Amino acid sequence: MLWYLGRRLLQVIPVFIGATLLLYALVFLRPGDPVAGLGGERGLPEAVQQQIRAQFHLDQPFIVQYLYYLRGIFTFDLGDTFTGRPVAEVVAEALPITFQLAIMALVIETVFGIGFGLFAGIRKGKLFDSSVLVLSLLLIALPTFVTGLVLQIVVGVNLDWLPVTAGRDPDFYSLLMPAIVLATTSFAQILRLTRTSVIENVTADFVRTASAKGLPRDKVVSRHVLRNSLIPVVTFIGVDLGNLMTGSIVTEGIFNINGVGGTLFEAIQRGESVTIVTMSTVIVLVYIVANLLVDLLYAVLDPRIRYA
Amino acid sequence: MTPRKRLLGLGAFALASSLVLTACGGGGGEEPPAEGASTGIVTVGNGEPQNPIIPTMTNEVFGSKVTGNIFAGLVYYDAEGVVHNEVAESIESDDNVVWTVTLKDGWTFSDGTPVTAQSFVDAWNYGAYGPNAQNLSYFFEPIAGFEDVQFAEDQLDAEGAPKEGEVPASETLSGLEVVSDTEFTVTLSQPESDFPLRLGYSAFYPLPESFFEDPEAAGEAPIGNGPYVLETWEHNSLIELRPNESYEGDRVPQNGGVDLVAYTDEDSAYNDLLDGNLDIVTNVPASAFGTFEDELGDRAVNQPAAVIQVINVPEYVEGFQGEAGLMRRQAISMAIDRDQVTETVFSGSRTPATDFTSPVINGWSDDVEGNEVLDYDPEGAKALWDEAEAIEPWGDEPLYIASNADSDHQSWIDPVCNGIRDTLGIDCEFDAYPTFDEFLDARDNNEIKGLFRGGWQADYPAMSNFLGPIYGTGAGSNDMGYSSEEFDAKLTEANGETDPDAAIELYKEAQTILFQDMPGIPLWYNNATGGWSEAVENVVFGWDSDPILYQVTKSE
């Protein structure tokens, strides 16, 4: 088990180098000159532009720029953004709030997705099942900015039930609506995944055996049906944590949350490679860790799976 | 990044603003609050400043809402763009070359140090000095000795970056001279009659001594002499401005302070306004253009700003030279239905152009001689085009209109192109550059294969600012390569004219030359769009489209 963990963690190193190199190359290949756009229509004085290029090594070849970046990582000094703030500070400021939002969304979609999915799967073909199916289809089809803006105007402005925007230092209450919006699509997918899986398992031999030996129905459902149905769902949830962290760009914009999304978006617009690469790399690392957790969870859910 | 600047100017507010000025005229710190003063904190939608809060660095609207309120310059602009002395007692010149500036007594920065002639001269020298790489350094170009504080040609490497260890010949502008604590002189390299008009711009603010000890720290926690002090700056979320007890000028805060709230999305700011969580929105989102005036009623603002949009005609593009070229320029202009595009595409948030300046600028008029080429006249356009065809055929090439596609330009270029296609019978296409900086790159390297979009926002409220920097021979933003001796001479004459009314007439004559040559085809003026909540009163948007924050009142 420990050996397995160690091996998995070692894999992070090549993934990290590969991801940063690839991301850096992509930003570098972005056409245009980021410094030229800094001054608006008029542009900055040429001398000022040249000094900015020199400061950020933008006049150097790609590989040199990349090595400067790696040096920055290993000396814990990533330098400044174009606006003159330390990159590390900007990234460290944006991450916690996005992480909090992602976790809230994850809890919402998991609890409701699995709950509704289980209920629908057990009562396959009944009214609840059919209506939930239609609803989930609708939620999958609606893009986040539609659900976000509609909820914001209806629940926030018209009904006044929840804050319209999260603002600074948002509490649980003001993050609730953004989290719900962020969770909608995945909620529908988890619901459908759980439902299908439950339907399969309900007719499986071991469930029939459990029922036949007189186990109460709720125990059959919770111990046998649900547990066995969760493996595909857990896989999905693991990957989804990464999606939630990146997919929050739209949601964060709508609800004015000062997180990864807005920071990343502005950095991309400005062609600020150090910020883009650092932020994306952190997200890559979140993916890796989430996937590792998922793999470990498999063993808990299904005792037949063992890691060595 | 395209600066998200919006602007506004409102003639109708003259009365309101003069009342407030009288109410607080000469208001020192000791006096009781003027009538109407309130204690509530006004919240204003803004964004994260793109540079440290240093006056000579601040070239965009998020930062300038801070610098404009925590600093006081020699002069300030009222809602209509009229100049009033602030720190200056007088700014005088006999020849428009040597200007003598005298300061009022008793001004201090919020750290208690006095505002002296040296505070101005040091700040300007800092802004102009090449190695400091200040975004607004070009504002000091007219001052004598500017070349000596820049890197010389031979101090730059092949890439244009300064070589290691090189410094400019001088650290200070030779044209600036401190006479006494309250007097200094500015010598320009040529006569400029509108020089005092520029001095309210943030590039010309004074800086305290503490700034020069650690500019970086000062950019984070600036100390100024304006109506407000910057209390806290939580990056990307909130900037708190609170009244400055030691402020000596006329712009005395009538509220308990201003909170500038950062938004990344205009829609969310607008929805917060509707819900009463935000007091002032300075930028209505495009999605609400059609509805915001109904939703907000008399709390909405939609007025021309000091911004003009044009289609520029580069001199290097074939088909636009000579007599035939002139006719083509006019024909294209007459084929554009400005009223229809501003109404349908922009829901009235643009105003059709009638000249090369802006309605908020003193001297603007809709009767500049020659401006009838801006009227929609399909028959006339077709006739002119055919006449040009007879001299020199256009061929099968489409007419290209270039712009960046990372902000919404397709929405107006398409209908403009449709009009040209229908009227002139030639093909017309939007030549899209994916990003703004790619577009600039092509523009600056003369690689654009047709006409291209241009936009101009005034730095200070003067007609000259709309003409010289864009259409003067070799001017910084003359991306068309336009050069007319007649126009240059008229401009020089206007700049040297000491009588303001005569100067306006000369600037209008200069525009008549532009209408003959059409180096750019004026389209429309941007409107400043904004609104405020029921919680605040006395909200006035200035000529630069920013609300005049000190006079807003809000009860707690």
pLDDT digits (tens, 9 = 90+) for B200-223: 999 999 999 999 999 999 999 999
pLDDT at A308: 61
Task: Name the packing angle between helices A87-122 and A273-301 (round to 10°).
Answer: 30
Average pLDDT for B129-149: 91
Between residues A182 and B435, the one the model is more confident about: A182
Q: Is A291 on the interface with B (CB under 8 A)?
A: no
Q: Do B237 and A82 touch (CB under 8 A)?
A: no
Q: Is a pLDDT exceeding 50 seen at residue B26?
A: no
Nearest to A256 among B5, B151, B268 (CB): B268
B260 C-beta neighbours (distance < 10 Å), count: 25
pLDDT of residue B438: 83
Tell me the pLDDT tens digit for each residue of B299-333: 999 988 999 999 999 999 988 988 899 999 999 99
Q: Is B434 an interface residue toward A (CB < 8 Å)?
A: yes
Measure the CA angle with vertex B247, ends B243 and B251; round to 5°: 75
**Residue among B160, B236, B435 whose CB faces A32 most closely:** B435
Contact between A168 and B238 (Cβ < 8 Å): yes
CB proximity A128 to B under 8 Å? no
Cα–Cα distance, A47 to B147 (Å, whole number)? 12
Q: Kindly state whether A159 is in contact with chain B, defined as any CB-CB distance less than 8 angstroms.
A: no
In contact, B303 and B10? CB cutoff 8 Å: yes
Q: Is residue B127 within 8 Å of residue B48, measured between CB atoms?
A: no
Name the minimum distance, in Å, from the CA of A42 to any CA of chain B.
6
**Per-residue pLDDT at B506 exceeds 90:** yes
The total of other beta-carbon atoms located within 10 Å of residue B103's CB is 25
**Does residue B409 register a pLDDT over 80?**
yes
| Closest A-chain CA to B150 | A47
Share of chain B above pLDDT 90, in %: 62
- Cβ–Cβ contact B499 with A under 8 A: no
CB of B445 less than 8 A from some CB of A? no
Candidate from B59, B160, B265 with C-beta closest to A39: B59
Please indicate whether residue B498 or residue A183 has the higher confidence score (pLDDT): A183
Find residues 169-208 of chain B whose CB sits inside 8 Å of chain A.
none
Report B:382-421 residues touching A (Cβ under 8 A).
406
Q: Which residue has the higher pLDDT, A281 or B351?
A: B351
pLDDT of residue B182: 95
Q: Tell me the count of A-B CB pairs closer than 8 A.
A: 158
pLDDT digits (tens, 9 = 90+) for B249-307: 999 999 999 999 998 888 889 999 998 889 999 989 888 888 999 999 999 999 889 99
A97 touches chain B (CB under 8 A): no
Please tell me the distance from the alpha carbon of residue A293 to that of residue A24, in angstroms, as a whole number: 28
Cβ–Cβ gap A36/B440 under 8 Å: yes
Q: Is B363 on the interface with A (CB under 8 A)?
A: no
Kindly tell me the sign of the dihedral angle through the C-alpha atoms of A166, A171, A174, A179. Answer: positive
Residues A175, B293: contact at Cβ < 8 Å?
Answer: no
pLDDT on residue B2: 36
Q: Which residues of B touch A169 (CB under 8 A)?
A: 237
Rounded distance between C-alpha atoms, residue B354 and residue B434, angstroms: 31
Closest among B371, B310, B368 to B508, alpha carbons compared? B368
Phi and psi angles of residue B306, each rounded to the nearest 5 degrees, phi first: -80, 50
Q: Is A149 on the interface with B (CB under 8 A)?
A: yes
Q: What is the per-residue pLDDT for A187?
A: 92
Q: Cα separation of A261 and B132, whole Å?
A: 33
Mean residue pLDDT of chain B comes to 88
Phi and psi angles of residue B260, each rounded to the nearest 5 degrees, phi first: -95, 110
pTM for the model stands at 0.81
Phi-psi region of B304 (alpha: psi -120 to 50; beta: other; left: phi over 0): beta
Half-sphere exposure of B539 (CA within 13 A, CB side): 25
Under 8 Å CB-to-CB from A264, ≥6 apart: which residues? Answer: A249, A275, A276, A279, A280
pLDDT (0 to 100) of residue B408: 80
By Cβ distance, the residue of B2, B48, B268 closest to A255 is B268
B236 close to A (CB below 8 A)? yes
Instruction: Give the chain A residue whose CA is nearest to the CA of B267.
Output: A254
Q: By CA distance, what is B234's nearest residue in A?
A: A168
Nearest C-alpha neighbor of A178 from the set A240, A96, A100, A91: A100
For B345-373, give the secondary structure using H, E and C. Answer: CCCCCEEECCCCCCCCCCCCCCCCCCHHH
pLDDT range class, residue B6, cuts 50, 70, 90: very low
| Strand, coil or helix: A206 | helix
d(CA A53, CA A66): 15
CA distance A27 to chain B (A): 13
| pLDDT computed for residue B4 by the predictor | 35
Instruction: Read off φ and ψ for residue B34, nearest 5 degrees.
Output: -65, 160
Whether B530 shows a pLDDT value over 80: the answer reads yes
pLDDT (mean) for B145-158:
87
Q: B528 phi and psi, to 5 degrees?
A: -85, 130
Alpha-carbon distance of B73 to B96, in angstroms, equals 20
Residues in A closer than 8 angstroms to B454, CB to CB, are 41
B 101-130 → A contacts, CB under 8 A: 130
The residue of chain B with its CA nearest to that of A254 is B268
Residue B281 amino acid letter: V
A269:B274 CB<8 A: no
Beta strands B257-262 and B41-46 are parallel
* Residues in chain A, pLDDT under 70: 41, 247, 308
State whether residue B131 sits within 8 Å of chain A by CB: yes
Q: Test B130 with A47 for CB contact under 8 angstroms.
A: yes
Which residue among B5, B161, B262 places its CB closest to the CB of A59? Answer: B161
A83/chain B closest Cα distance in angstroms: 5
User: Could you say which DSSP state residue B12 is in?
Assistant: G
Helix axes B410-424, B378-391, angle to 10 degrees: 70
Complex ipTM: 0.75
Q: In this model, does residue B18 exceed pLDDT 70? A: no
Nearest to B271 among A90, A164, A271 (CB): A164
Question: CB–CB of B7/B548 below 8 Å?
Answer: no
Which pLDDT does position A232 carry in this prediction? 86
Residue B511 half-sphere exposure toward CB, CA atoms < 13 A: 31
- Residue B183 DSSP SS3: strand
Q: What is the mean pLDDT of residues B97-104?
A: 95
